[in-house]
């Protein structure tokens, strides 16, 4: 949790200088990992990029040419920073981290090339001046650099590591699953938009306010709603 307290301080300074807007997702071709680049002047100590519970590099990482997903107890790795260095000015090499941003908090540029920038622009918070900010996730444990969770995202039926590596990437099209990992018991550590941080049980993940159109006072899925199969057995434990 100490790392998230440090992230809270970094974001407080960044947001003061940017009028409470999270101006990320604005570089042509960059993906969700851009927040690591944007925030670098505020943290610099790359030790806070990795949760102490997720330091072990995966034996066989999976993903695309430039980005490799992490796991429940392993960090993700990205070469995209090097690929886009001529555009962004990044000079610090590849990045390995185990936290991701709730990309719905970003003030994105919908004209950008990255496909995630074009999704439901009115769903983005664009910053942290929002009601009930203590329910809006900002940065948290993740197997990738970030995600755009939706109510209809169905949790994995088995823990991540039980899936063969080559079958995992399609599972993360339901992007809640990038955060839905049992890294800290049956929960994850989350930094919220009000700068508070706490461990959140997996069953409570759907009660949080991920984006502007998340159902108000949503209590999370009950068996059969919206998941026909109910909660997976590994979550029920």
85 or 200: which carries more pLDDT confidence? Answer: 200
| pLDDT digit string, tens, across residues 92-113 | 788 899 999 998 998 776 565 5
Cβ partners under 8 Å of residue 37, min gap 6: 30, 81, 88, 90
Band (192; pLDDT cuts 50, 70, 90)? very high
pLDDT category at 137 given cuts 50, 70, 90 is very high
| Total number of domains in the chain | 1
CA distance readout (Å), 76 to 116, 154, 203, 226: 19, 22, 24, 30
Secondary structure (3-state) at 14: helix
Cβ atoms 78, 63 nearer than 8 A:
no
Q: For 23-61, what is each residue's pLDDT tens digit?
A: 775 554 456 778 888 899 999 888 999 999 998 776 445
- Per-residue confidence band for 65, with pLDDT thresholds at 50, 70 and 90: very low
Asked if residue 181 lies in contact with residue 141, where contact means CB atoms within 8 angstroms, the answer is: yes
User: What are the φ/ψ torsions at residue 104 (nearest 5 degrees)?
Assistant: -65, -15
Domain that holds residue 205: 2-236
> What torsion, rounded to 10 degrees, do the Cα atoms 59, 98, 140, 63 define?
-60
Tokens representing 87? Answer: 């555009």
Give residue 88's pLDDT. 67
Q: Which of 44, 168, 48 is nearest to 97 (CA)?
A: 48
């Amino acid at each position: 949790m100490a790392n998230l307290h440090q992230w809270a301080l970094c974001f407080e300074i960044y947001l003061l200088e940017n009028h409470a807007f999270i101006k990320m997702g604005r570089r042509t071709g960059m993906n969700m990992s851009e927040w690591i680049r944007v925030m670098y002047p505020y943290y610099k100590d790359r030790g806070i990029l990795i949760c102490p519970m997720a330091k072990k590099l995966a034996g066989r990482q999976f993903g695309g040419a430039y980005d490799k997903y992490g796991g429940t107890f392993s960090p993700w790795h990205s070469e995209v920073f090097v690929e886009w260095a001529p555009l962004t000015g990044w000079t610090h090499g590849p990045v390995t981290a185990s936290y991701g941003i709730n990309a719905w908090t970003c003030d994105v540029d919908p004209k950008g090339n990255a496909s995630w920038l074009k999704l439901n622009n009115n769903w983005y918070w664009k910053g942290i001046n929002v009601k009930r900010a203590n329910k809006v996730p900002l940065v948290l444990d993740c197997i990738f650099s970030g995600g755009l969770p939706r109510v209809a995202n169905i949790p994995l039926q088995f823990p991540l590591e039980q899936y063969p590596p080559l079958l995992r990437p399609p599972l993360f099209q339901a992007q809640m699953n990038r955060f839905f990992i049992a890294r800290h018991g049956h929960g994850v550590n989350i930094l919220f938009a009000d700068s508070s941080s706490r461990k959140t049980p997996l069953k409570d993940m759907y009660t949080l306010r991920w984006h502007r159109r998340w159902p108000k006072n949503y209590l999370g899925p009950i068996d059969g709603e919206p998941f026909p199969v109910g909660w997976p057995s590994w979550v029920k434990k």
